[in-house]
Structure 1
Amino acid sequence: MAQSTLDSMPGASTGTVVITEPLNFWGGKRVKPREEKNAEPVFEPATGRVLCQMVPCGAEEVDEAIQSAYAAYQKWSKMAGMERARVMLEAARIIRERREKIAKLEAINNGKTITEALVNIDISWKSIEYYAGLAGTLAGQHIQLPGGAFAYSRREPLGVCVGIGAWNFPFVIATMKSAPALACGNAIVYKPSPMAPVTAVILAEIYKEAGVPDGLFCVVQGGAETGSLLCHHPKVAKVSFTGSVPTGKKVMEMSAKSVKQVTLELGGKSPLIIFKDCELENAVKGALMANFLTQGQVCCNGTRVFVQREIMPQFLEEVVKRTKAIPVGDPLLGSTRMGPLISKPQLEKVLGFVSQAKKEGARVLCGGDPFVPSDPKLKGGYFMSPCVLDNCRDDMTCVKEEIFGPVMSVLPFDTEEEVIQRANNTTFGLASGVFTRDISRAHRVAASMEAGTCFINNYNINPIELPFGGYKMSGFGRENGQVTIEYYSQLKTVVVEMGDVESLF
């Protein structure tokens, strides 16, 4: 079943794919939009051509999807954890079998390189396998009470959960939200980003093929209005959102009106601290990984690179040399290491940040310009050359605000105490990193970072087993890891009296 869109992938190349199938999915099948009048074009970032049309779901369609999910939840939640695990493992197997096709479609819709997309699809099936392994372990506690009485707790599903995804990791985020939700016995209605809507419905078809009840994983398309309908719907028990801080605040506000549980994974402006005693080669590699994955469009990127003053010249020389050598171009070529940004407005926004940085006194050491690949079919794509900024200060716009593009801001520091204070002087708190050979310093700095993750002598390593989430305005709740089971379930306490009732009345 999930072969429909994927069938054309082996022979597909950049600039050739057109998607005409419906992008909504509920009741176990793709669903055509009721009306086409509000259709929005979805662009292929590498060429600027229209890939497909995204038609947002209205109130009736959102309700239909949620009712479908609720009916499936009634069946799924009554299954034993091991039964759910078997279905999930089959879904993981199908994804693994079709990884090249899914990765290709992801790269075409998102612009990331095929090399990164393949890694993303592997993360996705591993996520489903991981939570399948936990599905049969869900349990409560038994507590003995006086007089032979006892109590026990039950870990129960929440019901219908809503996932609202971002465009930078379309397939990964859909699996990261659905895998723990399904393991706990929930159903999920998922709304992908309107800019990257095409692979979530592939996941829905795969879950269907694996054997979930019809409606267990639904996909509704749309933007802010559709998201609002999901957050307000009375049958929704939880909303998990990945995206910007302003939108996250709105999601939280809307969900609060009916006291829905919320997980927010929001933006970041993460510090990467490089001490003079580091292994410089690894620090340079870490800085590149911390800034240029997915064209810099990663929320946990370490975009404030603090380098101890004594090694600043060597660091800049090496990082600029390697940044200039990054092959930019067709995302479907295995040799490409940076594709286009997601959209023309995003490209213009990032270039605007570089222009503003120059006005505020930053020095562009390389890149920061629109890039036109030599391949004629890529002339309309949203490419730019990766950029390194020197002479930065803490009060500059490029250092304070999330750019979400391939722009690295490098700042000097002198002492550990000073850099910790500067690193934490931000409203964000998603990630952080430190490079040093001093193991005591490494753990001391990690403990001092006001962030949900701290990488020591590496960066952007996020295995599915590890919890991921933010401090401060980067959000709350966690994704990945065993702890996420707690965010997709609720505890019920059952008290059992074995003797007579003692009453004051």
Structure 2
Amino acid sequence: MKVFQGKLMQYILKNAVRTVQYRSFTNVLSGPFNYVDGSKVTPVDFEDNIVVIQPSTGKRLCCVPASGSKDVNHAVLAAKLAFKEWSRQSNTQRGRLLLSAGKKIRDNLEYISQVEVNNNGKPIWEARVDIASCADAFEYFGGIIGSLTGQHVPFQGNSFAIVSREPLGVVGGIGAWNFPLQTCSWKVAPALACGNTMVFKPSPLTPLTAIILAELLEEVGFPKGAFNVIQGGAATGNALCSHPSVAKVSFTGSVDTGVKVMKAAADGIKKVTLELGGKSPIIIFDDADMENSVKATLMGNFLSQGAVCSNGTRVFVHEKIASSFLDCLIEATKKLKIGDPFKEDTTVGATISNDHARKVLRYIENAKKSGAVVAYGGEIVTLPPPLNEEEEVIERANNTKFGLAGAVFTRDIQRAMRVIRQLEAGTIWINNYNIYPPEVPFGGYKFSGLGRENGTAVLEHYTQQKTVYMEAGNVDCGPLYQK
């Protein structure tokens, strides 16, 4: 999640009211909930219905039919047909449409944010930031795709080779419930920019905003079938991952499901990008700025009700400041307001579901049984044993199968650089946390995933190289050919 501060945040909130008035939440809930080949469609072979709730009240929002293999096939074939037209457009033409999509998202920011809050439960201010980051993704990739060029390699004489990048074809995307539209946008924006088409399956818990995005993309001129949305659970996702016409799968979610995605894609030798879980460390040395360290710890644990893959759930604080840091953190936590996510002063919203809430409570009980002590309220646990030696904290920070993110807080830049070089994580902050500008890649080490999202690096994951060798002279085959 890209966190905006100061004047930039004020600008977003000021301009968020530019909502297109004809859109309504009722229209989103009325269905159908699949969006294929430019139209909302009802599944033809669904086996069950998914009840979607409003997390803040527990009330039922809608009932979404889960798509079967025939529906997946319909969506993939629509994307495959659209690929013929879409891939032939120039990078500049595609970039122009992506820029228009970014503006369209900003024009509808308040409306989309309201839907996201209804479906996800996070506070409205946080949803606005999320949706603005979706516009960022489309604008960033729309701006850079025109510079995606090939390579000319000269050889002896007049011979040469041309190395170009071409789109893969149909991409399957599977999103997560903690950032419903953001995990979608981080996949569809670069995929479309590179000339691919996409079939996207949202989390069954948060199916709504992806449908809105599909409508917006068609409104700005994307061809029908370029972006398709299918709803469903594990069976639907498996059908998408294993479909023979899907060239790549990009997944955000748990490690267990990520393994299943890899297995489903393996038979077809498909490219896979996985953005999975984390257990990230925040390391706070004794010379760190106390206020900034507390702010970052809050950002690393309370955004989206704590449901962020990169959250800094292991906070290591130097023993010299551990007590004072904990006091400051408790005081800051007391000022957080849990409540109605639509109220502007709410800082912590609703957990996505009752099942997830019970899971969180089990984690807390397990931590207490392992020796953790509740520091404040019933849902905050004290920090790990304070750190002393630099080598020790690095070893403890790396003592996990995950490697998604981490942070170091210190005024000593030499120490910061020394520590970050030894941390086994794909994204590391120095004196900040949970900032994700689209200009830089995001992804993990170890069990936290494969590949990257955002930045120019992601273009490699949505294209394939073609080498063309041009011989300007005669073929030299040695003694194989005799006149």
Question: Does 2:245 align with 1:229?
Answer: no
Which of 463, 488, 491 is residue 465 of structure 2 equivalent to? Answer: 491
Secondary structure of 1:52's aligned partner: strand
Amino acid at match of 1:449: L
Query: TM-score, with normalisation over the residues of structure 1?
Result: 0.89
The residue number in structure 1 matching 2:291 is 281
Amino acid at match of 1:20: S
Alignment of 1:404-423 (within 5 A): 409-423=383-397
Question: Does 2:451 align with 1:477?
Answer: yes
Which of 349, 355, 358 is residue 348 of structure 1 equivalent to? Answer: 358
The residue number in structure 2 matching 1:206 is 216
Quick one: structure 1 residues 178 and 319, their matched pair in 2 at CA, closer, same or farther if it must change by over 3 Å? same
How far the C-alpha of 1:27 sits from its partner, in A, is 0.8
The residue number in structure 1 matching 2:16 is none
How far the C-alpha of 1:206 sits from its partner, in A, is 0.7
Amino acid at match of 1:416: E
How far the C-alpha of 1:336 sits from its partner, in A, is 0.4
Map Cα deviations across residues 52-78 of structure 1 (whole Å, 9 max, x no partner): 112111111100000000111110000
The residue number in structure 2 matching 1:272 is 282
Secondary structure of 1:309's aligned partner: coil
Which of 24, 30, 33 is residue 8 of structure 1 equivalent to? Answer: 24
Amino acid at match of 1:129: E
Question: Does 2:189 align with 1:179?
Answer: yes
Query: 1:62–1:226: 8 Å Cα contact kept in structure 2?
Result: yes
Amino acid at match of 2:453: E
How far the C-alpha of 1:441 sits from its partner, in A, is 0.5
How far the C-alpha of 1:4 sits from its partner, in A, is 10
Secondary structure of 2:403's aligned partner: coil
Query: TM-score, with normalisation over the residues of structure 2?
Result: 0.93
How far the C-alpha of 1:33 sits from its partner, in A, is 2.3
Which of 354, 375, 381 is residue 389 of structure 1 equivalent to? Answer: 381
Amino acid at match of 2:225: G
Query: 2:83–2:197: 8 Å Cα contact kept in structure 1?
Result: yes
Alignment of 1:141-220 (within 5 A): 141-220=151-230
Which of 325, 331, 350 is residue 315 of structure 1 equivalent to? Answer: 325
The residue number in structure 2 matching 1:293 is 303
Question: Does 2:483 align with 1:467?
Answer: no
Query: 2:45–2:69: 8 Å Cα contact kept in structure 1?
Result: no
How far the C-alpha of 1:5 sits from its partner, in A, is 11
Question: 1:360 & 1:420 partners in 2: Cα distance?
Answer: 22
Query: 1:435–1:442: 8 Å Cα contact kept in structure 2?
Result: yes
Question: 2:242 & 2:206 partners in 1: Cα distance?
Answer: 24
Query: 1:6–1:102: 8 Å Cα contact kept in structure 2?
Result: no
Question: 1:81 & 1:37 partners in 2: Cα distance?
Answer: 41
Amino acid at match of 2:281: P
Query: 1:268–1:430: 8 Å Cα contact kept in structure 2?
Result: yes
Which of 230, 241, 252 is residue 242 of structure 1 equivalent to? Answer: 252
Question: 1:37 & 1:50 partners in 2: Cα distance?
Answer: 20
Secondary structure of 2:149's aligned partner: coil
Map Cα deviations across residues 146-197 of structure 1 (whole Å, 9 max, x no partner): 1211111111000000110000000111111001001100001100000000
How far the C-alpha of 1:433 sits from its partner, in A, is 0.4
The residue number in structure 1 matching 2:338 is 328
How far the C-alpha of 1:7 sits from its partner, in A, is 2.2
Question: 2:367 & 2:296 partners in 1: Cα distance?
Answer: 23
Question: 1:389 & 1:57 partners in 2: Cα distance?
Answer: 41
Q: Pick which of 338-347 and 31-40 moved more.
A: 31-40
Secondary structure of 1:147's aligned partner: coil
Which of 370, 375, 398 is residue 424 of structure 1 equivalent to? Answer: 398
Amino acid at match of 1:289: M
Map Cα deviations across residues 330-369 of structure 1 (whole Å, 9 max, x no partner): 111110000011010000000111112222221101133x
The residue number in structure 2 matching 1:45 is 55
Question: Does 2:40 align with 1:26?
Answer: no
Question: 2:277 & 2:28 partners in 1: Cα distance?
Answer: 32
Amino acid at match of 1:469: G
Query: 2:47–2:66: 8 Å Cα contact kept in structure 1?
Result: no
Secondary structure of 1:42's aligned partner: strand
Quick one: structure 1 residues 34 and 291, their matched pair in 2 at CA, closer, same or farther if it must change by over 3 Å? same
The residue number in structure 2 matching 1:434 is 408
Amino acid at match of 1:299: C
Secondary structure of 1:310's aligned partner: coil
Query: 1:304–1:411: 8 Å Cα contact kept in structure 2?
Result: no
How far the C-alpha of 1:229 sits from its partner, in A, is 0.4
Question: Does 2:410 align with 1:445?
Answer: no
Question: 2:408 & 2:260 partners in 1: Cα distance?
Answer: 33
Query: 2:171–2:196: 8 Å Cα contact kept in structure 1?
Result: yes
Which of 432, 452, 456 is residue 458 of structure 1 equivalent to? Answer: 432
Query: 1:188–1:217: 8 Å Cα contact kept in structure 2?
Result: yes
The residue number in structure 1 matching 2:132 is 122
How far the C-alpha of 1:36 sits from its partner, in A, is 6.0
Query: 1:18–1:51: 8 Å Cα contact kept in structure 2?
Result: no
Question: 1:225 & 1:443 partners in 2: Cα distance?
Answer: 45
Greater than 2 Å deviation, 4+ residue runs = 3-9, 33-37
Query: 2:175–2:200: 8 Å Cα contact kept in structure 1?
Result: yes
Query: 1:388–1:410: 8 Å Cα contact kept in structure 2?
Result: no
Amino acid at match of 1:388: I
Question: 1:18 & 1:81 partners in 2: Cα distance?
Answer: 32
Question: 1:7 & 1:480 partners in 2: Cα distance?
Answer: 30
Query: 1:6–1:101: 8 Å Cα contact kept in structure 2?
Result: no
Quick one: structure 1 residues 127 and 194, their matched pair in 2 at CA, closer, same or farther if it must change by over 3 Å? same
Quick one: structure 1 residues 18 and 502, their matched pair in 2 at CA, closer, same or farther if it must change by over 3 Å? closer
Gaps spanning 5+ residues in structure 1: where?
369-386, 391-408
How far the C-alpha of 1:388 sits from its partner, in A, is 2.5
How far the C-alpha of 1:39 sits from its partner, in A, is 0.5
Amino acid at match of 1:474: S
Question: Does 2:58 align with 1:58?
Answer: no
Amino acid at match of 1:326: L
Identity within the alignment, %: 51
Amino acid at match of 1:232: S
Question: Does 2:113 align with 1:103?
Answer: yes
Quick one: structure 1 residues 312 and 456, their matched pair in 2 at CA, closer, same or farther if it must change by over 3 Å? same
How far the C-alpha of 1:6 sits from its partner, in A, is 7.1
Query: 2:92–2:145: 8 Å Cα contact kept in structure 1?
Result: yes
Secondary structure of 2:296's aligned partner: helix
Q: Pick which of 264-273 and 130-139 moved more.
A: 130-139
How far the C-alpha of 1:430 sits from its partner, in A, is 0.1
How far the C-alpha of 1:83 sits from its partner, in A, is 0.8
Secondary structure of 2:63's aligned partner: strand
Q: Pick which of 134-143 and 292-301 moved more.
A: 134-143
Count of aligned positions:
461
